[in-house]
Amino acid sequence: MAMRVSGMYSGMDTESIIADLVAVRQKKVDDVKKAQTKHEWKQDAWKTLNSKVYKLFSGTLENLTYQSSYAKKTTKLSNPNAATVITSDNAMKSVQSLKIDTLASAGYLTGGELKKEGVEITKDTTMGELLGLADGAKSSVNVTIGGEEKTIELTADMKLSDFAGELQKLGLNANFDEATNRIFIGAAGTGEKNDFNITGDAAVLKSLGLSAEGGAKKLDGTDAKIYLNDVEFTASTNTFEINGLTITCNATTGNDAITLTTEDDTSGIYDMIKDFIKEYSELINEMDKLYNTKAKKGLEPLTDEEKEAISESEAEKIENSIKDAILKGDSTLSAVSSAMKEVMRSGFEVGGQTMYLSDFGIETLGYFESATNEKNAYYINGDADNENSTIKNKTNDLMAAISKDPTQVRDFFVKLSQSLKAKLNDLMKGTNYSSSYTVYEDKKMKEEYDDYTKKIKEEEQKLADYEDKWYKKFGAMEKAMAKMQSNMNAVSSMFGGM
């Protein structure tokens, strides 16, 4: 780099003159940087859009392609307060009777109040104090859980809190409550298999309040018992899994049976299709908006110097305007959206006839009714959630078709979804220019971004060389003028001395 010399002898503002001379070259650097910034924004826009396309592809669309997705069942109960039912897709259509005889419960022991003359009972009270154990002496209690017996050794220095901890180690819920001076013990789960019993020396159990003599009250764990179609079933919990139904009991019914009616879940099928139509329409609307948004002429990304010259809000407004129109007229975007629209407009043979979305009451709004960039969105006629009164007040042909012939609905949407998925799968195939499951040329765009980085370095080097050239020239001029000034001073001094 050339030495930066000011106009000491020439009297010229060399810094300003050189800045003006290199301004054109600086613009070349700025133009490449701005082009790279726009390219980066375009990459970001595609990344966001691609994630939405893939979400549709792998989510709601994927779900529609399987026939099993339409085999939805639901179960209605004559008394929904007594039980709840989760219905799997392989449950049988049926009408069944259910009696809930008993509910499952967990074993629980409320210990008697602990008292010992001359001893203040706290969680830190030892077995020595409570049971009269001498140092080194031991006792024990036996705990049986699910038929398996284990022994807890009691030592003189063992505290009541320690004893509760030993019970916890065996899998029980246990605590010594200082407010009531009682030991509370609960089974880890409901049912007879999780129940527990505590045995041992009668005097020890009485002193610990764990026996009837010591005031303890024990509630045994019980199994749940139901009669489904007059057949008895028992379980350690209140939940039964029987032939595709998961029945959770909430209350006993006595001798009054409740009715369980299992049938096709028309609302479940409807919601599945509705979710797809909604997600597709939101995506296609966004694509149309991105493709059609008009860019304001003359707007380019701002350099740091340009940002400093205006307010932060003005700079943000300019950048957002550019970003909003970054995919305007994009050929790849046009190809993807056109392919999706073509499938949705297509007919598919079902039961010997060609059917379209419109045959199921799924249509676009009229050209003049549709909002800008929403002319390719689909709506379900008669859907209660739609705010458009024209759509809302129509007959819900989709729900009617599901109720009348769910097989026909299934066959149509399986074919439509498989066709759309195949089209998107083809568009998302990995190539030399794009990664798998990507609808745009991400690899190529990455290479182009790197090319911009290389170009910026080249232009910046040219700018530096050009600037150095002018500094060298002005430096040489200043040097020559300095020499001439020196010579003139020498001559003047010669004449002055005569």
Helix, strand, coil share (%) of the chain residues, nearest 5: 45, 20, 35
* Residue pair 156/126 in contact by the 8 Å Cβ criterion: yes
> Helices marked H in 377-441 — which ranges?
389-392, 397-404, 406-427
pLDDT at site 369: 86
* Residue pair 22/475 in contact by the 8 Å Cβ criterion: no
pLDDT at site 26: 76
Q: Would strands 182-186 and 196-200 be described as parallel, antiparallel, or unpaired?
A: unpaired
Whole-number Å distance between alpha carbons of 242 and 227: 12
pLDDT at site 1: 46
Whole-number Å distance between alpha carbons of 363 and 344: 10
* Residue pair 426/434 in contact by the 8 Å Cβ criterion: no
pLDDT at site 9: 46
Whole-number Å distance between alpha carbons of 439 and 428: 5
pLDDT at site 304: 86
pLDDT at site 2: 47
- Which residues have a Cβ under 8 Å from the Cβ of 486 and sit 6 or more positions away? none
Q: How distant is the alpha carbon of residue 252 from its chain centre?
A: 40
The maximal CA–CA distance of the chain, rounded, in angstroms, is: 143
- Kindly state the DSSP code that residue 28 receives in the 8-state scheme: H
pLDDT at site 49: 97
> Which regions of 42-188 does DSSP assign to beta strands (E)?
73-77, 83-87, 94-102, 108-110, 138-145, 148-155, 173-177, 182-186
DSSP lists the bridge partners of residue 281 as none
- Sign of the CA dihedral running 384, 386, 387, 392: negative
Residue 319's nearest CA partner among 305, 301, 334, 335 is 301
Whole-number Å distance between alpha carbons of 198 and 283: 65
Q: Which two tokens stand for residue 81?
A: 């307060």
* Residue pair 474/14 in contact by the 8 Å Cβ criterion: yes
Residue 77's nearest CA partner among 241, 266, 232, 249 is 249
Using CA atoms, how far residue 256 sits from 98, 211, 231, 262, in Å, is 9, 39, 15, 19
Q: Would strands 196-200 and 138-145 be described as parallel, antiparallel, or unpaired?
A: antiparallel
Whole-number Å distance between alpha carbons of 38 and 332: 17
Q: Which two tokens stand for residue 295?
A: 């860019």
H or E element, residue 231 = strand 231-235
Q: What phi and psi values does residue 164 have, to the nearest 5 degrees?
A: -60, -40
* Residue pair 103/248 in contact by the 8 Å Cβ criterion: no
Q: How many residues does the chain have?
A: 498
Tell me: the pLDDT tens digits for 232-275?
Answer: 999 999 999 999 999 999 999 998 999 999 998 999 999 999 99
Tell me: the pLDDT tens digits for 259-269?
Answer: 999 998 999 99
| DSSP secondary structure, 323-379, as one string | HHTTTTT-HHHHHHHHHHHHHHH--EEETTEEE-GGGGTEEPPPTTTSPTT-TT--E
Whole-number Å distance between alpha carbons of 428 and 207: 76
* Residue pair 327/45 in contact by the 8 Å Cβ criterion: yes
- Kindly state the DSSP code that residue 381 receives in the 8-state scheme: T
| DSSP secondary structure, 68-93, as one string | GGG--EEEEES-TTTEEEEE-TTPPP
Whole-number Å distance between alpha carbons of 324 and 332: 17
- Kindly state the DSSP code that residue 51 receives in the 8-state scheme: H
Q: Would strands 94-102 and 224-228 be described as parallel, antiparallel, or unpaired?
A: antiparallel
Per-residue pLDDT of the chain (498 residues), as tens digits, is 444 555 444 445 566 666 666 666 778 888 899 999 999 999 999 999 999 999 999 999 999 999 989 988 999 999 999 999 999 988 999 999 999 999 999 999 999 999 999 899 999 999 999 999 999 999 999 999 988 999 999 999 999 999 999 999 999 999 999 999 999 999 999 999 999 999 999 999 999 999 999 999 999 999 999 999 999 999 999 999 999 999 999 999 998 999 999 998 999 999 999 999 999 999 999 999 999 998 888 889 998 888 989 999 999 999 999 999 999 999 999 999 999 999 999 999 999 999 999 999 999 988 888 889 999 999 999 998 988 878 888 999 999 999 999 999 999 999 999 999 999 999 999 999 999 999 999 999 999 999 999 998 888 788 777 667 766 776 667 676 667 666 666 666 666 544
Whole-number Å distance between alpha carbons of 318 and 301: 8
pLDDT at site 303: 87
Residue 154's nearest CA partner among 173, 172, 132 is 132
Q: In what order do the strands lie in the sheet with 196-200?
A: 148-155, 138-145, 196-200
Residue 459's nearest CA partner among 467, 449, 471, 470 is 467
- Sign of the CA dihedral running 311, 316, 322, 324: negative
Whole-number Å distance between alpha carbons of 449 and 40: 7
- Which residues have a Cβ under 8 Å from the Cβ of 180 and sit 6 or more positions away? 113
